[in-house]
Amino acid sequence: MPVIESTKKAYDKLTWTWRPSSDKEAGDAIVKNLLLHWFPNKISKASLSWNYSMWLGTISFVLFMILVFTGVILMFLYVPSVERAYSSVKDIEFVVSFGWLLRGMHRIAAHLMVAAVFFHMVRVFLTGAYKNGSAIGANRPLNWIIGIVLLLLTLLLSFTGYLLPWDQLAYWAITVGTNIASSAPLVGKAMRFFLLGGNTIDQNTLIRFYVLHVFFLPMMVLLLFSYHMWRVRKDGGLAVADHEALDQRPEKIAPVKSKTYSLLGITNGTTVHVQNTMVDEEKNTVPSSPHLLRRIWLVTLLTFVATFLLTIIFRAPLEAPANPAVTPNPAKAPWYFLWLQEIVTITTVKIGSFTINGALIGGILLPGILLALAIWWPYRDKSSINSVGVWFAKERKIQNWVFISICALIIIFMIIGTFLRGPYWNFYWPWEAWPEMPVKF
């Protein structure tokens, strides 16, 4: 049947890169494909391990791509105007065919991306992968800093998207979030004014957040991500490959026995043996096609399925339309900023008529110090090259524990802020009922 045959041919043409039949085809698959040519021809087996990177960076990028695809379709349906934003989201949710799925996947992927990028950073820290190995020209500390900027951009992307439905949840989360930012000394008020496009959250804010959300921030993420990946190549691949190369330093590799030979009986000699300082290519690397490509496909598929299932389980909320006159009690920031809101509350202390400003301590100084520490740490960490690319290296025990403790505290505060804080930010166990609150105008 000619139709079946031509379909099979088209399928083969489309997919031959995933199942090369020779080393030459495997090489061609990478070099000749626009999308694949940025991968190395061969990759160390250690980098492909599931346990080392947990593929969290790849998962973050797949989630970003889901956000781009669903976001572009949402742009055809959403209207960024104070009068129409809420009703357009309501239409997407209840009128447009599969609109709820589109909006839900966009929302779940956004939440997941914040978490995936955070845990990717945690894994990079715990494997000491922000340090240089033996590759010439490596600059992993720079890639760590690029990563921190990517994390901040991811948070901003999510934060700017939060406002767009223009419901009570959106309006008040952004009010709380920007109020925290405004407590920075000297520049705080100006910063809030600049972010909101005025003193109140209104049309100026909506259009500002919209442009940042659909164009400026995604572009920045895309550009920086490309640089992030290019640096991974320049830095000699993942740090675990560096560690493998170190394990095979010439002194650790048993010398290969040299052969003696004679040429036509005229001259005798021994083979010249050149020792390799990098990983033993034959034994420890495999062609990227199909080994890396198949794993990337699998990770993409699993991330997509997980996002899809979570979207069906947790429907995206849509509260009453934004109303500046009705303040919910409690008014909460987005979940990834709730640890800051929690610290702001704990550090706000009233002694008589004197008040210690928690917003300054918890909202600005503490995150500022944490950020500065994160940027400085790769240059401060003097642990040896042996601990690069190794999970929980003994040498880095103390710093790993300090890092884990800080992350654990952030997560605990987030959980408290999300589930255990009620009216006036009082503490309530999940089984305790909240008191009836009069609506504040």
* H/E segment holding residue 351: strand 349-351
C-alpha 433: how far from its chain's center?
36
Shortest spacing between CB 371 and ligand HEM, in angstroms: 11
Shortest spacing between CB 406 and ligand HEM, in angstroms: 14
Residues 202-221, one symbol each (x = binds ligand HEM by CB under 6 A, - = not), give -------------------x
β pairing state of 349-351 and 354-356: antiparallel
Is there a cis peptide before residue 430, judged by omega within 30 degrees of 0? no
Residues 149-188, one symbol each (x = binds ligand HEM by CB under 6 A, - = not), give -xx--x----------------------------------
Residues 209/157, Cβ–Cβ less than 8 Å: no
According to the binding rule CB under 6 A, does residue 121 interact with ligand HEM?
yes
Dihedral sign, Cα of residue 53, residue 56, residue 61, residue 62:
positive
Strands (E), 17-166: 42-44
Q: Which of 142, 148, 286, 310 binds ligand HEM (CB under 6 A)?
A: 148
Q: Residues 220 to 239: which contact ligand HEM by CB under 6 A?
A: 221, 225, 228, 232, 238-239
Q: Residues 238 to 267: which contact ligand HEM by CB under 6 A?
A: 238-239
Binding residues for ligand HEM, rule CB under 6 A, total 28
Shortest spacing between CB 278 and ligand HEM, in angstroms: 16
Is the CB of 51 or the CB of 97 nearer to ligand HEM?
Answer: 51
Residues 116/56, Cβ–Cβ less than 8 Å: yes
At residue 200, φ and ψ (nearest 5 deg) are -125, 165
Is the CB of 169 or the CB of 340 nearer to ligand HEM?
Answer: 340
Residue 393 half-sphere exposure, CB side, CA atoms within 13 Å?
Answer: 23
According to the binding rule CB under 6 A, does residue 129 interact with ligand HEM?
yes
Is the CB of 110 or the CB of 196 nearer to ligand HEM?
Answer: 110
Shortest spacing between CB 116 and ligand HEM, in angstroms: 8
DSSP per residue over 185-222, as a string? TTTHHHHHHHHHTSSSSSHHHHHHHHHIIIIIHHHHHH
Torsion of CA 132, 133, 139, 145, to 10 degrees: -40
Q: How many CB atoms lie within 10 A of CB 387?
A: 20
Shortest spacing between CB 279 and ligand HEM, in angstroms: 14
Residues 49-68, one symbol each (x = binds ligand HEM by CB under 6 A, - = not), give ----x-xxxx-xx-------
Residue from 312, 336, 320 nearest 161 by CA: 336
Q: Per the structure block, which two tokens stand in for 278?
A: 């990098």
Residues 346/358, Cβ–Cβ less than 8 Å: yes
Stretch that binds ligand HEM, among 18-26, 121-129, 200-208, 265-273 (CB under 6 A): 121-129
Q: Residues 383 to 412: which contact ligand HEM by CB under 6 A?
A: none
Q: Per the structure block, which two tokens stand in for 116?
A: 């995936």
Shortest spacing between CB 229 and ligand HEM, in angstroms: 6
Stretch that binds ligand HEM, among 21-29, 143-151, 268-276, 422-430 (CB under 6 A): 143-151
Is the CB of 188 or the CB of 237 nearer to ligand HEM?
Answer: 237
Cα–Cα distance measured from residue 217 to residue 204, given in angstroms and rounded to the nearest whole number: 18
Stretch that binds ligand HEM, among 73-81, 118-126, 286-294, 347-355 (CB under 6 A): 118-126
Cα–Cα distance measured from residue 115 to residue 119, given in angstroms and rounded to the nearest whole number: 6
Stretch that binds ligand HEM, among 19-27, 123-131, 175-183, 252-260 (CB under 6 A): 123-131
At residue 262, φ and ψ (nearest 5 deg) are -135, 135
Shortest spacing between CB 62 and ligand HEM, in angstroms: 9
Shortest spacing between CB 293 and ligand HEM, in angstroms: 14
Shortest spacing between CB 433 and ligand HEM, in angstroms: 40
Distance (Å) of CA 244 to CA 277, 291, 385: 11, 18, 12
Is the CB of 90 or the CB of 123 nearer to ligand HEM?
Answer: 123
DSSP per residue over 250-301, as a string? GGGSPPPPPPEEEETTTEEEE---PPPSS--HHHHEEEHHHHHHHHHHHHHH
Q: Which of 78, 86, 100, 130 binds ligand HEM (CB under 6 A)?
A: 130
Shortest-Cβ-distance residue relative to ligand HEM: 147
Is the CB of 174 or the CB of 239 nearer to ligand HEM?
Answer: 239
**Which residues of this chain interact with ligand HEM, rule CB under 6 A?**
53, 55-58, 60-61, 117, 120-121, 124, 127, 129-130, 140, 143-144, 147-148, 150-151, 154, 221, 225, 228, 232, 238-239
